[in-house]
A and B are shown apart, each in its own frame.
Chain A
Amino acid sequence: MIALVALLQPLAVALGAPLVLGLTRQVRARLEGRVGAGVGQPWRDLRKLAGKQRVRPTGTTVVFLAAPVLLVGTTLAAAVIIPLVGVSPLDRAGDLFAVVGLLLTGTVALTLAGLDTGTAFGGMGASREVTIAALVEPSILMAVYALSLPVHSTSLAAIVTAVSADPGRVATPAAVLAAVALGVVVLAETGRLPVDNPATHLELTMVHEAMVLEYAGPPLALLEWAAAMRLTVLLGLLANLFLPVGLATAVTGAPSVAALLVGLAAVAAKVSVLAVVLAAGEVALAKLRLFRVPELLAGSFVLGMLAVTASYFLITPTG
């Protein structure tokens, strides 16, 4: 039964991610006084793109072709490991560091594809993405480290199980600081405001969109899908690291179908709430000047650092 988690999670992410994206857009549209295209619009867009002719820019290599597949693959792999619906049996295959590594692999594949097109925009987007990634990764690692210190393990299952057993852990200064640091990092990693503007048509300001400008048709559909899945996976991770309510854990033995359904509903609810909060927050935000983005991410890094320090000083010796 537990093997189901490893199947159910990527399936749920793959199907649900466009809806999460649609939800953020719809919430934003309504808050701005627009009607909005509906929650299902990203799915309709994907269907439209998937049905289009394949066009490949001249001079591009296998790097360009492989990037969308790699991006989708790494994101789905992360979805297998991360405890979203329940604690995955494949948890031993990868810890938080592995998740970070998987997501970064996807990012690097995309930046290489951006460079592979040989256009100014691809290069520009890649350069900006790498700058941001170089600042994001240390913050993630710091926050992860702070979370793993109390449980003496970087295993996601261990962290999540410990928090489920003792929800009071979330209220420690270390956990709060780590949560904020991770929250900022998720914004940067998924290309949301104030770091990147997912809705812009201004090619000179783009980060993520600049790298994928040369894609069209089915590969573009894959990229858009992967971007939506990354957002969903990261929101799910954020939610379950700090509020693993409803998660089908192995504490009570093998989870039943009912427990899995509860877990699915719980993670869907949590991700939806986070998506709504994200969209609502974005309405009040504008895009930072590119040179101010490092300041924001440095702030996130400092929070992660403080979280680690706090974990050391405020750790309860459990032996």
Chain B
Amino acid sequence: MSTPPEAADRRALEVSPGQLGTAAAGLLDQGHRLALAAAHDEGETLRVVYLFLAGARPDVPEMRTELSVQVPAAAPHLPSLAGASFPAGRFEREMHDLFGLIPDGHPLPRRLVRHAHWPAGWYPMRRDAGPPPPFSAAEPYPFLTVTGPGVFEIPVGPVHAGLIEPGHFRFSVVGESIVKLKARLWFVHRGVEKLFEGIDPVRGTELAERISGDTSTGHAVAFARAVEDALGVRPPAEVDRARVLLVELERIYNHVADLGALANDVGFGIANAHAQRLREQALRLNARVTGHRLLRGATGPGWARLLALPDPVELGRLAAEAGELAEICLRNSIVRDRFAGTAVLGTQQAGELGCLGPVARASGVRGDARWDHPSVALPGGPVVHSGGDVLARFLVRRDELAFSAELVAGLCRDGLPLAAGAALGRAAGTTAGAAAGAAAGAAAGAAAGAEGAQPRAGVGIVEGWRGTIVHRVELADGLLRRVKVVDPSWFNWPALPVALSGAIVPDFPLVNKSFNLSYAGNDL
């Protein structure tokens, strides 16, 4: 962990709408993936930025390529990239709903984010959108009706019997077999990206921590890195290492809860009882390390601050107990039978849908931003299983948890300076004037402020526990002009119905839990 990773190979290209398709196809062919697409309202024009990423390989640094396109706001037509990239098609639908961009040639130009009660022609992310008009349910937003002998519909949610985020699932079934599943999300649209506009990065960090409650630190780190990137600041290596520690602590407490929840969903309650106990221990550890059980307030642009280092012995014991718990689950033949072969997501399917995180790695896709877009050189490599079923997703979590615990223990043994974290200027970071917080960051912030209205863009990438989180910020006058947030759940939600085709209805909760996607992170 001594040699810092090579700097990223960055490019930002302006293309015309006509060139967009060719340029994007070229990048996709070279092994890039579309990680983010964000529209920006510039008044007369709409500017769309596509961020393509390619992971680091041996001797080849990571690549970050941005394509940006300008279209007139009056006639915002763009050629659709949906044919070349499935995620692009979804980003286009999102941009249509929020900005009014029209993707020409899109195969499914339906509403995505805005439900039927949002009036047509009102685009909330436009600068002149104003307050929301009165809602009505007049707009068409139909479900595909599956017809045929013996096909029934089962509507589930958005209010569920347990404590689950709101999502509506429409099953078309024959008997117990699922013919088609349609997940309707976007019940929790809070306008997060709009809330980011015009606030300073300090407030922005607090908002980023609240995008998805269980990924507080993941989003905070992605946001902080994006702001640092925009300001051209590289924080000290101690900050990066402290952030690795925070993100891994978040992974540990979430993965252990998932292991138990998966067992609980097949009625193996004892495993859940113990997983909850372990999660509580992890949360208390978090509180000792950062002062917050969900690791909030521990990092921001330019700084990271720890109250104490986690005790490696305690962490080792927690990881060992979690491993034993997983072993007990897998030794139970009924549990194993429920997990094995259930809802297989193939490698090709996961790749084409653009899946990320444990979901992708359980289907044999080797993507992990900790190695693809490294901030700290880490030992080992991503945990990959190839089964693609619930069992594989369980195993990925088990193995990642063990790796994370070891990694954190290693960081602690190497001696992570707490004081250095404090010296990074937590106090300075709390004042809006020195937005970037750190001494270096503050200077750069001042420079950015002096530079005037010209926006500066930056990208932050972090491997959260659900997968790769990407934030892209644009700063002007030290304030956030536009923040685009992409949670891995955005990429993984479409994989759930794909994996479920051919499964049976009573297996759905288990499969859903094995994906464990965020509703709030998906719907900003």
Contacts and interface: CB of A to CB of B under 8 A. Distances in A.
Interface of A: 28, 31-34, 120-121, 123-124, 193-194, 197, 199-205, 213, 283-292
Most buried by B among A33, A199, A204, A205: A204
Contacts of B137: none
B332 A204 contact: no
A70 to B, nearest CB: 25
A197 B267 contact: yes
A205 B156 contact: no
B267 A200 contact: yes
B273 A34 contact: yes
A288 B506 contact: no
28 contacts: A32-B274, A33-B274, A120-B153, A121-B154, A124-B154, A194-B267, A194-B334, A199-B269, A201-B160, A201-B161, A203-B160, A204-B154, A204-B505, A205-B509, A283-B269, A283-B270, A285-B267, A286-B268, A286-B332, A287-B266, A287-B334, A288-B334, A289-B337, A289-B506, A290-B176, A290-B504, A291-B504, A292-B337
Given A200-B267, A203-B160, A204-B505, A32 B335 contact: no
B156 A204 contact: yes
A267 B337 CA distance: 37
Interface string B488-524: 0000000000000000111111000000000000000
Contacts of B154: 120-121, 124, 204
Contact of A201 (B162, B266, B505, B507): B162
Contacts of B127: none
Contacts of A33: 270, 273-274, 277
Interface string B176-196: 100000000000000000000
A202 B338 CA distance: 16
B62 interface: no
Contacts of B176: 290-291
B331 to A, nearest CB: 11
A120 B152 contact: yes
Contacts of A290: 176, 504, 506-507
Contacts of B269: 28, 32, 199, 283
A31 B504 CA distance: 32
Contacts of B267: 193-194, 197, 199-200, 285-287
Nearest to A31: B270
A123 B277 CA distance: 37
A213 B160 CA distance: 12
Contacts of B504: 289-291
Contacts of A284: 270, 332
B334 A285 contact: yes
A46 B128 CA distance: 56
A286 B273 contact: no
Contacts of B162: 201-202
A137 to B, nearest CB: 21
A16 B263 CA distance: 32
B250 interface: no
Contacts of A200: 267
B322 to A, nearest CB: 15
Nearest to B176: A290
Given A120-B154, A204-B156, A290-B504, 18 more contacts: A32-B269, A32-B270, A32-B274, A33-B274, A33-B277, A121-B154, A124-B154, A199-B267, A203-B156, A204-B506, A204-B508, A284-B270, A285-B268, A285-B334, A286-B266, A288-B337, A288-B338, A289-B504
Interface residues of B, number: 30
Contact of A286 (B153, B263, B277, B505): B263
Contacts of B506: 204-205, 289-290
B340 to A, nearest CB: 10
Contacts of A32: 269-270, 273-274
B17 to A, nearest CB: 45
B509 A204 contact: yes
Nearest to A290: B506
Contacts of A202: 161-162, 265, 509
Contacts of A286: 263, 266-268, 332, 334-335, 338
Nearest to A203: B161
B155 interface: yes
Nearest to A120: B154
A212 B268 CA distance: 23
Most buried by A among B153, B274, B334, B508: B334
Contacts of B152: 120, 123
Contacts of B332: 284, 286
Interface string B309-322: 00000000000000
A203 to B, nearest CB: 5
Most buried by A among B267, B273, B334, B338: B267
Cβ-closest 8 pairs across A and B? A287-B267, A201-B162, A202-B509, A32-B273, A197-B267, A286-B334, A286-B268, A120-B154
Contacts of A213: 161
A277 to B, nearest CB: 16
Contacts of A203: 156, 160-161
B460 to A, nearest CB: 36
Contacts of B155: 120
Contacts of A28: 269
Contacts of B505: 124, 204
Most buried by B among A32, A193, A194: A32
Interface in B35-78: none
Contacts of A121: 154
B343 to A, nearest CB: 12
Contacts of A288: 334, 337-338
A205 B338 CA distance: 13
Contacts of A287: 266-267, 334, 338
Contacts of A120: 152-156
B174 to A, nearest CB: 12
A123 B270 CA distance: 31
A313 B260 CA distance: 50
Contacts of B334: 194, 285-288
A288 B338 CA distance: 7
Contacts of B270: 31-33, 283-284
Nearest to B162: A201
A193 B268 CA distance: 9
A28 B272 CA distance: 13
B273 to A, nearest CB: 4
A290 B510 CA distance: 13
Nearest to A121: B154
Contacts of A199: 267, 269
Interface in B134-181: 152-156, 160-162, 176
Nearest to A124: B154
A224 B121 CA distance: 51
A286 to B, nearest CB: 4
Nearest to A201: B162
A201 B162 CA distance: 5
Nearest to A198: B267
Contacts of A292: 337
A33 B335 CA distance: 20
A290 B277 CA distance: 30
